Amino acid sequence: MVADSPKMRVQEIRWVRAGDLKPHPMNWRHHPEHQRKALRGILQEIGFTGVLMAVERDESLLLVDGHLRSDEAPELKVPVAILDLDDEETEKALATHDPIAAMAQADKNILLTLLERTQSENDSVNDLFEALANDSYQGLVPVPPIDVSFESLEDTVVGAVCPNCGYTQIERSSRYEGMPNNG
């Protein structure tokens, strides 16, 4: 729990045409087509369920969160939380907002129960459900922490990156067979 009360940085909620929001030039998250299709499916089935976040700069609203939703529904008026952040704070929010959410650990049993109770008529949404059920969704299993201090030259770290989704699996291994032994 936060020791002191955090500052409330939301100044207001404003309804804005999504296409009028400007993408932040430091947005480091890029959205592959399968993610866009899944979002389109959810927007068609249930609609918008959350606010986008933006800061006011030079008489414009600069997105902090919601770039994909803004891209996919440019003509729609959407709720936008107008934040009172300076440039440094805005960049800190950009760097940490999604990663902090991604740090949450999944309860596989509850997820499977939820997926059994949830249905979609959209193929892309069903693909997401299947990936979640089969542990192949990149956000479900975090990359495990590793100890990078080696006890000997025979210990090493090996990893693999999925070319489709970018999921990275890293493991510590002893006696890596392909490693040249210079000792």
Considering Cα of 61, then 80, then 14, then 7, what sign does the dihedral take? Answer: negative
Same domain, 98 and 147: no
Domain boundary among 46, 73, 102: 102
Instruction: Look at the chain and report how many structural domains it folds into.
Output: 2
Residue 22, beta-bridge partner list: 62
pTM for this prediction: 0.68
Q: Are residues 14 and 98 in the same domain?
A: yes
107 lies in some domain: no
User: In which domain, by residue range, is 167 found?
Assistant: 143-183
| Residue 153 tokens, joined | 């030259």
pLDDT per position in the chain (183 positions), as tens? Answer: 666 788 999 999 999 999 999 999 999 988 889 889 999 999 999 998 999 999 999 999 999 999 999 999 999 999 999 999 999 999 999 999 888 888 888 888 999 999 999 999 999 999 889 988 887 665 543 434 434 444 444 444 445 545 445 555 544 444 434 434 444
CA–CA separation, 110 vs 164, rounded Å?
A: 27
In a domain, 35, yes or no: yes
Query: What is the DSSP-derived secondary structure letter of residue 108?
Result: H
Which CATH number does the domain housing residue 98 bear? 3.90.1530.10
* 57-82: burial string, b at 16+ Cβ within 10 Å, e else: eeeebbbbbbbbbbbebeebebebbb
Which residue pairs, CB below 8 angstroms and at least 24 apart, start in 114-118? none
